A and B are shown apart, each in its own frame.
Chain A
Amino acid sequence: MYYKFSGFTQKLTGSAPATAYNPQGLRASLPAESPTMIFATPTKVVSEAGATAEYMGANKVPDLQKLFQTSDGTPVHLKRGYPDRLLYRTTMALTIGGVAYCLVALYIAAQPNRK
């Protein structure tokens, strides 16, 4: 029985006779000792990891801050331009229309019941 030193298990294991003619120590590809085992890398804090993959999207707040702080005199509810204007006008239309509809409905409701 011929033996060789297994670099993987760090124990003697059986081997073929041919290995006796090719000593391990002389072969560059097979190291006599296994590399030091690493059980865990220390967890990286996000701030140290730098610009790595973001969790659920990138931070757009600084851009939005710049957008909303432009001194163009527009009030905050219209600051984003077209989508804000659309929503505002729809809401105002419903408001004014609603008041009119309400007054008519209450006027009708106030009429005495004619059977």
Chain B
Amino acid sequence: MAHQVHAYHMVDPSPWPLTGAVGALLLTSGLAIWMHFHDMTLLALGLILLLLTMYQWWRDIIREGTFQGHHTPPVQKGLRYGMILFITSEVFFFLGFFWAFYHASLAPTPELGGCWPPTGITPLDPFEVPLLNTAVLLASGVTVTWAHHSIMEGHRKEAIQSLALTILLGFYFTFLQAMEYYEAPFTIADGVYGSTFFVATGFHGLHVIIGSTFLAICLLRQVLYHFTSDHHFGFEAAAWYWHFVDVVWLFLYISIYWWGS
């Protein structure tokens, strides 16, 4: 077997980019078919294909890094750049929804009654469940940092416990937010207030679920001894993503829940 004279990772040929692209095709065309003909087959097929692709692609990355040793320092640096750039793109994604909120709320139109919150909207009390949600996410930021330090110091049991606590706090946030959605006196159809509220907080909630899932995978990998005290980038990426989710919530809380009420 030929040995490489560089520290970079020449990946084995992989079918997952193709299956992922086809999955995206099926999701988008499936969405169009569902809207016109009320048939969810193509949409479901796309979703299944996307899930299969994600599972196998990321499984292979774990195999290449943890089991085959391909994640040398230059490779890890590239992975770090990648995660930072991805999170930056997500920041821009949320920036758009904040733009929409401030556009609507800084100069409320006469149709809304010239005021914010618009006439007829009873906003949620920011000092009730939303404040609890803020405390929950801030606490989860502390526990994930605790988990990181536990991993770096080689404390296996503590790392597992603090990581599990972080995930539980994430689930608690999602549960509380779901309850709020159910009990809210306004809906997404209630003008621009409803639209900006539910689209911004809804996408945030989706990111909390994604972040919790990422952390859960890290918990599984920690139990399986994948992480060492000085090489655990998968966990660091999950922690970065989790802190990003926390910061977006803080902006949401200040802007929409507090200033916007």
Contact = CB atoms under 8 A, between A and B. Distances in A.
A101 B45 contact: yes
A77 B15 contact: yes
Interface in B152-172: 154, 156-157, 160
A88 interface: yes
Contacts of A71: 1
A76 B64 CA distance: 7
Contacts of A77: 12, 14-16, 56, 60
Main secondary structure of the interface of B (DSSP, over half): helix
A56 B223 contact: yes
Given A55-B157, A109-B33, A79 B22 contact: no
B19 A61 contact: no
**Interface range, B side:** 35 or more
Given A68-B63, A68-B67, A98 B224 contact: no
Interface residues of A, number: 32
A22 interface: no
Interface in A88-115: 88, 90-92, 94-95, 97-99, 101-102, 105-106, 109
B96 interface: no
B107 to A, nearest CB: 41
Nearest to A58: B225
Nearest to B160: A56
A76 B68 CA distance: 9
Contacts of A95: 18-19, 22-23, 49
Interface string A65-84: 10111010001110100000
B1 to A, nearest CB: 4
Contacts, number: 99
In this complex, the member of A88, A94, A95, A99 whose beta carbon has the largest number of chain B beta carbons within 10 angstroms is: A95
B23 to A, nearest CB: 8
A94 B30 CA distance: 14
Interface string B128-170: 0000000000000000000000000010110010000000000
18 contacts: A60-B224, A60-B225, A69-B67, A69-B69, A91-B53, A94-B19, A94-B45, A94-B49, A98-B25, A98-B42, A98-B45, A99-B25, A99-B26, A102-B30, A105-B42, A109-B32, A109-B33, A109-B36
Interface of A: 46, 55-57, 59-61, 64-65, 67-69, 71, 75-77, 79, 87-88, 90-92, 94-95, 97-99, 101-102, 105-106, 109
Closest A-B pairs by Cβ, 9 of them: A68-B67, A75-B12, A59-B225, A71-B1, A91-B52, A95-B22, A95-B19, A98-B26, A61-B225
